[in-house]
Amino acid sequence: MIVMKFGGTSVGSAREILRVTELVSKEKRKKVVVVSAMGGVTDKLDKMARKVVNLPTEVVESEVEKFHKEILDQHVSAIKEAVKDGKVQEEVLKEVSTLANSLRYALMGIGYLEDLSPRSLDYIWSFGERMSAPIVAGALRSKGVDAKHMTGYEAGLVTNSCFGQARPLFKKLDKTIKEALNPVVAKGIVPVVTGFIAADEEAKMTTLGRGGSDYTASIIGRYLNVEEVQIWTDVDGILTTDPRIVPNAKQIYTISYVEAMDLAYFGAKVIHSKMIEPAMDADIPVRIKNTFNPDNVGTLVVKESEQVEGVVKAISIAKNVAIINLKGVGLADTPNIAATVFNLLGESGINIIMISAASEANLSFVVKRSDVQAAVNVLNTEFFAGCIRTLEVIEDACIIAVVGAGMRGTHGIAAKIFQTAADVNANIIMIAQGSSEVNISFMVKENEGDSVLKALHRNFIECAKGAGK
């Protein structure tokens, strides 16, 4: 059995959905299909939810009606073209219209109550995948493939109630996922599961964080112990860097779990940063493939690290982050201060992305830029007043991560990396402490990030023989 996950661009319109049905029907092994929302739909839902909560009451209804029409039209036109069988088409049209109606009521509620909680936002986001899955399943059925759409929850994916960033309840999943999906697959039916969304133990809708459909795919793959988890997207695989910044980035054919995990963690959007772990735990290969160029072998993510000539395999960049610098001699005198800071931030749902070498009177760490205000609120309290003398925020920073097996053991590589940054006049603001064996990561100003990335790619990948293999 395998898992085939199709991202937003792969189900972006009827033409793409038909392409997906070709790929699924050609695959002779048993399979579970996982789908994202149609390209751009989650962004639209997110934007609308944030807009409607701030609208004057008199315009809520008309704005929601307009939005409802736009979303419904987009899906209906995909259904009319991709779901060819008349009876199936009718069923899917009915289901999607009902969903669009619920979306309309939910948005009205948010607008009139002027209240958008993380729980309501997850509910709004969920409509993207809940509308795309019936279309893909319907298109498959029209092609003679027995398929059935299911929500992540119906497929056994239960999470905690941390809306917007829910954690799977792993201890339960072995049972719930097997019980939900194995009987369906055994009957020869292809489950088409909504990626990204799940529910908590009280069946309240949750999400795994933006881009989380990849994570759904690897979790399902892990508990069904599949042969391979396939991530179908719009590029040939994991490339040596972000092709939007360096158009001649090269395809990587094999990469280890640890390397892929570091790349994703530090910004390579091609896979979700959490998706590798479940696959790695069960030693299941992950293959990233291009829906629009399916003959290309793609990238295979496996256990073994393979050192490439020149050592550097890929470079990633994570933007929209900020550095928080705490200074004060009191930091040195307060026992466990770092643990206290990180615990309190964690309790407020703020992730620490990176920590730099802390001296006795200095503690620096990196958070998402959107978390800065919340972090400052946590730290600006009576409790910390005695030990933190200054709290400095550097908002316009980005992280660059240089990744490759054997990095840490290679003499002089860090010096060469930092020299490359200096050659393009970038200042290194912070160097990560305790990066993994396979990466060296550091921060520069965001407006210097792209030029550092390009220079590193040129020096370490384009000019290194055998790199990009």
Name the site residues for ligand ADP (rule: CB under 6 A): 7-10, 36, 211, 233-235, 238-239, 241-244, 268-270, 314
Residue 167 site contact among ligand ASP, ligand ADP, Mg ion, none (CB < 5 to 8 Å, cut-off depends on kind):
none
Residue 396 site contact among Mg ion, ligand ADP, ligand ASP, none (CB < 5 to 8 Å, cut-off depends on kind):
none
Query: Taking the CB of residue 54, how many other CB atoms lie within 10 A of it?
Result: 9
Q: Indicate the residue among 9 and 132 with the shorter CB distance to ligand ADP.
A: 9
| Cα(376)–Cα(346) distance, integer angstroms | 13
Q: Indicate the residue among 129 and 371 with the shorter CB distance to ligand ADP.
A: 129
Q: Indicate the residue among 274 and 457 with the shorter CB distance to ligand ASP.
A: 274
Closest distance of CB 115 from ligand ADP, Å: 30
Using CB atoms within 10 A of its CB, is residue 425 exposed (0-12), middle (13-18) or buried (19+)?
Answer: exposed
Query: Taking the CB of residue 358, how many other CB atoms lie within 10 A of it?
Result: 16
Closest distance of CB 387 from Mg ion, Å: 41
Closest distance of CB 241 from ligand ADP, Å: 5
Closest alpha carbon to 111 in 49, 163, 47: 49
Residue 239 site contact among ligand ADP, Mg ion, ligand ASP, none (CB < 5 to 8 Å, cut-off depends on kind):
ligand ADP
Using CB atoms within 10 A of its CB, is residue 416 exposed (0-12), middle (13-18) or buried (19+)?
Answer: middle
Query: Taking the CB of residue 15, how many other CB atoms lie within 10 A of it?
Result: 10
Residue 63 site contact among Mg ion, ligand ADP, ligand ASP, none (CB < 5 to 8 Å, cut-off depends on kind):
none
Residue 212 site contact among Mg ion, ligand ASP, ligand ADP, none (CB < 5 to 8 Å, cut-off depends on kind):
ligand ASP
Site for Mg ion contains 191 (CB under 5 A): no
Site for Mg ion contains 237 (CB under 5 A): no
Q: Indicate the residue among 124 and 397 with the shorter CB distance to ligand ASP.
A: 124
Question: Which residues ranging from 4 to 23 are in contact with Mg ion (CB under 5 A)?
Answer: 7
Query: Taking the CB of residue 185, how many other CB atoms lie within 10 A of it?
Result: 15
Which residue is closest to ligand ADP by CB? 7
Tell me which residues touch ligand ASP (CB under 6 A).
7-8, 36-37, 42, 128, 195-196, 210-213
Site for Mg ion contains 211 (CB under 5 A): yes
Closest alpha carbon to 396 in 444, 452, 325, 453: 444
Q: Indicate the residue among 36 and 159 with the shorter CB distance to ligand ADP.
A: 36
Residue written as tokens 């295979």? 300
Closest distance of CB 128 from ligand ASP, Å: 5
Residue 287 CA: distances (Å) to CA of 3, 229, 405: 10, 6, 19
Closest alpha carbon to 193 in 167, 224, 157, 159: 157
Q: Indicate the residue among 243 and 294 with the shorter CB distance to ligand ADP.
A: 243
Closest alpha carbon to 398 in 424, 430, 371, 422: 430
Closest distance of CB 210 from ligand ASP, Å: 4
Q: CB under 8 Å to 460, separation ≥6 — which residues?
A: 310, 311, 312, 315, 402, 416, 417, 420, 467
Which residues of this protein are in contact with Mg ion, per CB under 5 A? 7, 211
